[in-house]
Chain A
Amino acid sequence: MLVVAGLITADLRYNSLDTTRSFLDMLTTPIYWIADIPARALDWGNTNIQPRSELIERVEKLDRENLVLEGRSQQMSALRAENVRLRSLLNSAALLQDDVLVAELIGISPDPMSHQLVLNKGAADKVYIGQPLIDAEGLLGQVVVVSEFSSRALLITDATHSIPVQVNRNGVRAIAEGSGNLGVLEIGHVAATTDIEEGDLLVTSGLGGRFPVGYPVAVVSKIERDPGQAFATVQAQPSAALDRSRYVLLVFTAQSAASE
Chain B
Amino acid sequence: MASQGQQSLWIIWFSFFIAFVLAVIALPPWLLWVRPEWPALVLIYWTIALPHRVGLLTGLAVGVALDAIEGAVFGQNAFSLMVMALLSLVLYQRLRVFNALQQAATIFLLIGINQLIGQWVQNLQGRGTQSLLFLLPALSSMLMWPLVLQILRSVRRKYHLA
Contact = CB atoms under 8 A, between A and B. Distances in A.
Contact of A24 (B63, B68, B75, B127): B68
A38 interface: yes
B67 to A, nearest CB: 8
- Quick one: which of B65, B126, B127, B134 has the most chain A CB within 10 A? B127
B122 A145 contact: no
Contacts of B35: 110
Report the contact-size class of chain A (Cβ under 8 Å from the partner).
35 or more
Contact of A4 (B24, B79, B125, B129): B79
A113 B75 contact: no
Interface stretch (B25-33, B45-53, B154-162): B25-33
Interface string B108-136: 00000000000001101111110001100
Nearest to B118: A111
Contacts of B147: none
A254 interface: no
What secondary structure prevails in chain B residues at the interface with A? helix
Interface in B67-125: 68-76, 78-79, 82, 121-122, 124-125
Given A28-B65, A110-B35, A112-B32, A35 B21 contact: yes
A160 B33 contact: no
Contacts of B20: 28, 31
A27 B32 CA distance: 25
- Quick one: which of A5, A21, A112, A116 has the most chain B CB within 10 A? A112
Contact of B70 (A4, A36, A109): A109
A111 B70 contact: yes
Interface string A13-30: 000010011001101100
Contact of B74 (A17, A31, A35): A17
B26 A35 contact: yes
A11 B122 CA distance: 12
Contacts, number: 100
A123 interface: no
Contacts of B22: 35
B63 to A, nearest CB: 8
Contacts of B65: 24, 28
Contacts of A21: 68, 74
A8 interface: yes
Interface in A66-102: none
23 contacts: A4-B60, A4-B79, A5-B75, A7-B74, A7-B78, A8-B124, A10-B74, A11-B73, A12-B124, A31-B20, A31-B69, A34-B21, A35-B21, A35-B26, A38-B26, A112-B32, A113-B134, A114-B71, A114-B72, A114-B122, A116-B71, A180-B127, A180-B129
Interface of B: 17, 20-26, 29, 32-33, 35, 60, 63-65, 68-76, 78-79, 82, 121-122, 124-129, 133-134
Given A6-B75, A39-B26, A116-B71, 15 more contacts: A1-B79, A4-B63, A4-B78, A8-B79, A25-B68, A28-B20, A28-B68, A31-B24, A32-B69, A36-B26, A109-B70, A110-B23, A112-B32, A158-B127, A159-B128
Interface of A: 1, 3-8, 10-12, 17, 20-21, 24-25, 27-28, 31-32, 34-36, 38-39, 107-114, 116, 118, 145, 152, 158-160, 180, 182, 243
